[in-house]
Amino acid sequence: MNIPSSLIKEAIGWRHHLHQNPELGFEEHNTSNLVVDVLTSLGIEVYTGLAKTGVVGILKKGKSIRSIGIRADMDALPIQEMSGVDYASCQMGKMHACGHDGHTAILLGVAAYLAKYGNFDGAVYFIFQPAEENLGGGVAMVKDGLFEQFTIDEIYGLHNWPGRPLGDICVNDGSMMASFDIFDITLQGIGTHAAMPEYGKDPILAAAGLIMALQSIVSREVASLKSAVLSITQIQGGDTYNIIPECVALKGTVRALDEDTRLMVKNRLLEYVEKLPALYGVKGSINYQERYPATINNSECAAHIRRIAGEVFGENRVIENVPPTMASEDFSVMLNAKKGAYLWLGVDEVNRPSAPLHNPYYDFNDNAIAVGIELWVSLVEKTLIA
Total residues in contact with Zn ion, by rule CB under 5 A: 1
Q: Stretches 38-46, 62-70, 92-100, 105-113: which one binds Zn ion (CB under 5 A)? A: 92-100
Pairing of strands 318-319, 169-170: parallel
Smallest distance from Zn ion to CB 345, Å: 12
Smallest distance from Zn ion to CB 227, Å: 20
Q: Which is nearer to Zn ion, 180 or 280 (CB)?
A: 180
φ, ψ for residue 5, nearest 5 deg: -65, -30
**Which residue from 11, 24, 98, 114 is in contact with Zn ion, where contact means CB under 5 A?**
98
**x/- track of binding to Zn ion for residues 125-144 (CB under 5 A):** --------------------
Q: Which is nearer to Zn ion, 82 or 194 (CB)?
A: 82
Smallest distance from Zn ion to CB 329, Å: 7
Q: Which is nearer to Zn ion, 71 or 266 (CB)?
A: 71
Q: Stretches 15-23, 91-99, 186-194, 211-219: which one binds Zn ion (CB under 5 A)? A: 91-99
Q: Which is nearer to Zn ion, 98 or 248 (CB)?
A: 98
> Considering the rule CB under 5 A, would residue 106 count as an interface residue with Zn ion?
no
Smallest distance from Zn ion to CB 336, Å: 19
Q: Which of these, 14, 25, 143, lies nearest to 73 by C-alpha position?
A: 25
Q: Which is nearer to Zn ion, 265 or 334 (CB)?
A: 334
Q: Which is nearer to Zn ion, 276 or 345 (CB)?
A: 345
What sign results for the dihedral spanned by CA atoms 332, 334, 339, 341? negative
Smallest distance from Zn ion to CB 72, Å: 10
3-state SS, one letter per residue, for the chain: CCCCHHHHHHHHHHHHHHHHCCCCCCCCHHHHHHHHHHHHHCCCEEEEEECCCEEEEEEEECCCCCEEEEEEECCCECCCCCCCCCCCCCCCCCECCCCHHHHHHHHHHHHHHHHHHCCCCEEEEEEEECCCCCCCHHHHHHHCCHHHHCCCCEEEEEEEEEEEECCCEECCCEEEECCEEEEEEEEECECEECCCHHHCECHHHHHHHHHHHHHHHHHHHCCCCCCEEEEEEEEEECCCCCEECCEEEEEEEEEECCHHHHHHHHHHHHHHHHHCHHHHCCEEEEEEEEEECCEEECHHHHHHHHHHHHHHHCHHHEECCCCCECCCCCHHHHHHHCEEEEEEEEEEECCECCCCCCCCCCCCCCHHHHHHHHHHHHHHHHHCCC
Q: Which is nearer to Zn ion, 183 or 362 (CB)?
A: 362
Within residues 240-299, the interface with Zn ion by CB under 5 A covers none
Smallest distance from Zn ion to CB 77, Å: 7
Q: Which is nearer to Zn ion, 71 or 283 (CB)?
A: 71
Smallest distance from Zn ion to CB 138, Å: 11
Q: Stretches 5-13, 90-98, 220-228, 367-375: which one binds Zn ion (CB under 5 A)? A: 90-98
Q: Which is nearer to Zn ion, 157 or 340 (CB)?
A: 157
Give the CB-nearest residue to Zn ion: 98
Where on the chain is the footprint of Zn ion (CB under 5 A)?
A: 98
